[in-house]
Chain A
Amino acid sequence: MNTILRVIGGAAVLGAAGLAAFVFVPVQRTVAVTDLPADWKAPEGAGEYVMYAGDCMACHTAEGGEPFAGGRAIHSPMGTIWSTNITPDPETGIGGYTLDEFRAAMIDGIRADGAHLYPAMPYENYRLMTEEDIRALYQYFMEDVAPVNNAVEATALSFPFNMRFGIRAWNWLALAHEAGPSAATGDAAFDRGAYLVQGAGHCAACHSPRTTFMAQDGLTESDENYLTGGEVAGWHAPALRGEGSAPHVWAVEEMAAYLSTGRNAHSAANGEMGLVVRDSLQHLTDEDNLAIATYLKAMDGEPGTPTVAEAATTTETMLTEATDLDLGARLYMDNCSACHFVDGKGAAEIFPELANNSIVTAPQIGGLANVILHGAELPSTEHRPMKLKMQGYADRLSDDEVAALMTFLRQAWGNDAPPVAASEIGAFRAPAH
Chain B
Amino acid sequence: MTDLPGFPSRRSFLKASAAGVAISGFALAATAQPAPPIQLDQYQPVFFTDAEWAFVLAATARLIPSDGDGPGAIEAGVPVFIDRELTGDFGTAVDWYMQGPHNAAADPLLGWQTPLTPAQIYREAIPAVNAWCEQTHGAIFADLAPDQQDTVLTAMQEGEVELAPEIRDFFKILLQNTKEGYFADPIYGGNAGMAAWAYIGFPGARAAYKEWVGRHNIAYPLGPVSISGDRA
Contacts and interface: CB of A to CB of B under 8 A. Distances in A.
A209 B26 CA distance: 27
B208 interface: yes
Interface residues on B, range: 35 or more
A319 B8 contact: no
Nearest to B218: A321
A218 to B, nearest CB: 14
Contacts of A271: 14-15
Contact of B208 (A11, A275, A338, A369): A338
Query: Interface majority SS on A: helix, strand, loop or mixed?
Result: mixed
Contacts of B33: 398
A161 B5 CA distance: 8
Contacts of B9: 74-75, 232-233, 272
Nearest to B16: A233
Contacts, number: 182
B13 A73 contact: yes
A342 B222 CA distance: 15
B15 A399 contact: no
Nearest to B4: A214
Interface string B9-33: 1111111111111110011111111
A24 to B, nearest CB: 24
Contacts of A206: 7
Contact of B210 (A205, A323, A341, A370): A341
B22 A429 contact: no
Interface string A74-85: 111110010000
B107 to A, nearest CB: 44
Given A215-B6, A272-B10, 8 more contacts: A76-B8, A77-B3, A119-B4, A322-B221, A333-B222, A364-B18, A393-B229, A427-B21
Interface of A: 1, 3-4, 7-8, 11, 58-59, 63, 72-78, 81, 118-120, 122, 157, 161, 167, 205-206, 210, 214-215, 230-235, 271-272, 275, 319-323, 325, 330, 333-335, 337-339, 341-342, 364, 366, 369-370, 393-399, 401, 426-430, 432-433
Closest 6 CB pairs of A and B: A234-B18, A233-B9, A338-B208, A119-B6, A118-B5, A396-B229
